[in-house]
Structure 1
Amino acid sequence: MTITDPAQWEDLFTRTVDEQPVQFVRPADTDRPVWAVYEAAVYVGSVTAEADGGRPLWRVQGSREAHHDLDDAIRSLRRPPSWPREREQVAAWARRLLADDSFLAIDVETTGLENAYAVQIAAVDRRGSVVFNEYVQPDAVIEPAAIAVHKITPERVASAATFGELLPHLTDVFHGRVAVAYKMDFDRGVIERELHRHHHGDAAAADTWLGRVQWEDAMVPYAVWRGLWSVKRGAYRNQPLGGPHDAVADCRLLLAKLEQMGATAPAARW
């Protein structure tokens, strides 16, 4: 369905969400934009469409949470019964991280997505203060697609320090700290690749450096916290961080997401 006015949507329609058909039925006793939702002829909940700046805002009846994407509203209805407990576990995890004085939110902007090198590395502490923010001369081609995202051009980093030149400062900042990133395996992987190159392929030296940092990933916990279940994947759907792709700004956005997760009320209260 692509109609932006909810009043024009049909009384009965089917939509495939994550490769599974979903039936929408408007109750016969109303003209309001509300539909009962069925999967395999089993009622799973109801959604109401509200106008919101030219496109529908889908509100899930019962929880009252709202989604601009109808598919996300359906994914919220598919949550397993374990979700409230899992969400509270994520909230406790976030609170534990935020209470740790060694906490760092980190972000790495790169030359691309495959075999990438760093063009900017940043870290902020629990208060959002910048403790590391450096552009990096990558000695590698920056892919046009990457430039379109983070706007860091070869000219911008031509006179920047190399990773090796920044390594002593990076070591002072990172070692002994808890480093939290959004999709940690990517950011950590970039730093590992830089260390391998710096140490001329010495994997042991790279592993020793990495082992002095406690690495934490926020992407999967945030997916659990949002609770949008994908039946195709059999897991909670990962969410984009939504930052501007400036390393410092993305670090602060990650910190804000962790604070939001940590502030979650226990299930008995919501």
Structure 2
Amino acid sequence: MTIADPAQWQDLFTRTVDEQPVQFVRPADTDRPTWTTYEGDTYLGTVSAEPDGGRPLWRVQGIHEAHRELDDAIRAMRRPASWPREREEVARWAHRLLADDSILAVDVETTGLKNAYAVQIAAVDRRGAVVLNEYVQPDAVIEKAAVAVHGITPERVAKAPAFGELLPRLTDVLHGRAVVAYKADFDRGVLENELVRHHGGNTAAANEWLGRVRWEDAMVPYAVWRGLWSIKRGAYRNQPLDGPHDAVADAKLLFERLEQMAATVPAARR
């Protein structure tokens, strides 16, 4: 459907969500923007559009959730039966992580997405204190697409220290600590690129340095916690962190997401 106002949508239509057609049927006893949904002969649930400024919220009846995107409402109704248990496991994981006094949230802004180098590195502790915030002269091209995301131009980092100059402090901050990142394999990979270059191609030295940090990834657990099931991928959809792409602000936001997850652990099971 392409009509902006859901109240004007048809009583019967089909929408494809993650390559799977979903049939929408408006109940005969209402003219409100409410539809029951089916995949083939399988009933998924009922969704209703509620006004919320310029865009509707899609409320899923029966599970007391509202989603900005209609497709996400459908994904919520597609959750496997195992989701409540999986969500509780993730919540307990977040609770344990936040109870670790050594935990740091780390974020790295980069020159791009492939073979990337750092242009900003930040670490924030559990109390929200910034223990590291450094811009980095990457000695590499900063892609225009990356600048459009984080706003860090070559001019901004032209006089910033190189990674090698920051390495002693970075070592003091991270070694022996638990580090949580959003898509940790990416941030860890950026540091690996920097370390390999710093050590003249010596991957063993880079891996030894990285191995002295206990890495935790929050992206997949947060996807499970949100529980938006992609029938195409056969997995929960990864969610954007929705931060401003400033390393400090994103690290602080990551702790907020962990606190949201941890808050759903039943008190008796913590």
TM-score normalised to structure 1 length: 0.98
Moved over 3 A (4+): 265-268
Distance 1:238 1:248 in 2: 22
Q: For each residue in 1:40-70, what CA deviation from the matched residue of structure 2 results, as whole angstroms up to 9, or x when unmatched?
A: 1211110011111122210000112001100
Corresponding position of 1:140: 140
State the alpha-carbon separation in 1 of the partners of residues 85 and 5 from structure 2: 37
1:153-232 equivalence runs, <5 A = 153-232=153-232
Do 1:105 and 1:125's aligned partners in 2 also have CA atoms closer than 8 Å?
A: yes
Q: CA deviation at 1:33?
A: 1.2
Give me the whole-angstrom Cα distance separating, in 1, the residues matched to 2:104 and 2:206: 20
1:104 aligns with 2:109: no
> Does structure 2 conserve the Cα–Cα contact (< 8 Å) formed by 1:5 and 1:51?
no
> Whole-Å Cα distance in 1 between the matches of residues 172 and 23 of structure 2?
57
- How far did 1:267 drift? 11
What's the counterpart of residue 67 of structure 2?
A: 67
- Secondary structure, counterpart of 1:100 in structure 2: coil
SS at match of 1:160: coil
**What is the CA–CA distance in structure 2 between the aligned matches of 1:54 and 1:207, rounded to whole Å?**
50
- Rounded to whole Å, the distance in 1 between the matches of 2:13 and 2:43 is 15
Whole-Å separation in 2 of the counterparts to 1:57 and 1:207: 47
Unaligned runs of 5+ in 2: none
What corresponds to 1:87 in structure 2? 87
Distance 2:124 2:132 in 1: 7
Letter in 2 for 1:31: D
Distance in 1, matches of 2:265 and 2:175, equals 33
1:51-66 to structure 2, matched below 5 A, reads: 51-66=51-66
1:45 matched residue in structure 2: 45
What CA distance in whole angstroms lies between the structure 2 residues aligned with 1:267 and 1:16?
40
Distance 2:44 2:251 in 1: 38
Decide whether the 8 Å contact of 1:4 with 1:56 is kept in 2.
Answer: no
Contact 1:104–1:124 (8 Å) recurs in 2 = yes
Shift of 1:2: 2.4
SS at match of 1:32: coil
Q: Is the 8 A contact 2:121 2:134 kept in 1?
A: yes
| Residue 151 of structure 2 is aligned to residue 151 of structure 1 | yes
Give me the whole-angstrom Cα distance separating, in 2, the residues matched to 1:193 and 1:25. 53
Q: Secondary structure at the match of 1:45?
A: strand
CA deviation profile, 1:184-239 (whole Å, cap 9, x unmatched): 11000000000000000111110110000000100000000000000000000000
Check whether the contact 2:149–2:245 (CA below 8 A) recurs between aligned residues: yes
CA distance in 2, matches of 1:7, 1:265: 38
Match of 2:23 in 1: 23
* CA-to-aligned-CA distance 1:11-49 (integer Å, 9 cap, x gap): 000000000000000011111111001001211110011
CA RMSD for the aligned pairs?
A: 1.4
